[in-house]
Amino acid sequence: MQFQQLQYFVAVAETRHFTRAADLVHVSQPSLSQQIKALERELGADLFLRARGNITLTDAGEALLPLARRILADADTARLEVQELVQLRSGRVRLGATPSLCTGLLPDVLRAFHDRYPGIHLMIEEGGSHDLVRELARGALDLALVVLPLPTPSPALATVELLREDLVVVSSPDAPKPGHGKRAIRVADLEGERLVMFRHGYDLRELTVAACRAEGFEPDFAVEGGEMDAVLGFARAGLGVAVVPRMVAARAGRGLRVTPLAPPGLHRTIALAHRSDVAPPRAARELQRMLLEH
């Protein structure tokens, strides 16, 4: 019994027509008929009743049909499993993330992923959540780490909450302590402080400015327009204070004073997003699993 014969048998059983079945499996009708006859000889039983152009299954055919479908389905599953294993040996993952997450969360996870799957090419795109959502929607990314709530919620995207991260205030150790030296300061204590501020469209900028306005004041910018590395460098140089994620502050090394925000503080929620209408590639799903377990 050959695998190809089972494919032809199922095609005839489903179409109840030899010519249409031959078209379905892309062979000539005589070749298909010969293979069906060979299968019947192998099994020692007729599989079809051919009466006046009507094709019906015999009892033997009825018994074989669910078994043949299962064998074909198992073969498809085996093919997909092997293809997915190949994808884990050589392939790519296109991951979008906000710059602060590239600095704080991703290095450890990406190192672990690369150690396990060295053949996977990692493509990282930095951007704000708004830009990353757009890139996901048009299929340019497999996964993206974004800040919730999304700037433009989309039913075409699925999100899974990854972590809730505290924000802290960083400043130069040579500058006066923010909040008049308190161990933990409130957002209201930032009034009168000069801030080093991110560029427009940066999630942390919107969050910080909104928090200051909620306390009844407009933040005073010493310098604005930078990405994460620039903002940390400007704060380290004493140009002003900056509000950054705790993970980023912890990785920034020496040269920065870290002051926590007193409860309720400021937080941001990080989520992992992908398109809901298209399953991510196998390698992307593996990176997704590692991020969720981190």
236 burial class (0-12, 13-18, 19+ CB within 10 angstroms)?
buried
- What b/e string do you get for 45-82 counting C-beta neighbours within 10 Å, with b at 16 or more? eebbeeeeeebebeeebeebbeebeebeeeeeeeeeee
Residue 216 CB contacts under 8 Å (≥ 6 apart), including other chains:
188
- The one-letter code for the residue type at 7 is Q
Confidence of residue 200 (pLDDT cuts 50, 70, 90): confident
Torsion 120-121-127-130 (CA) sign: negative
Q: Are 75 and 110 in contact (CB under 8 A)?
A: no
What is the tens place of the pLDDT at every residue in 25-37? 999 999 999 999 9
Angle between helices 3-15 and 29-43 (to 10 degrees): 110
pLDDT over 90 (residue 130): no
Please count the helices (runs of H) and the strands (runs of E) in the chain: 11, 11
Q: What is d(CA 124, CA 144) in angstroms, rounded to the nearest whole number?
A: 9
pTM for this prediction:
0.64
For residues 71-89, give the mean pLDDT.
78
Average pLDDT, the chain: 89
Task: Specify the pLDDT at position 151.
Answer: 67
**pLDDT grade for 154, boundaries at 50, 70 and 90:** confident
Q: What is the pLDDT of residue 90?
A: 76
- Which residue, among 204, 207, 256, has the nearest Cα to 234 in the 3D structure? 256
- In the predicted model, is pLDDT for residue 253 greater than 80? no
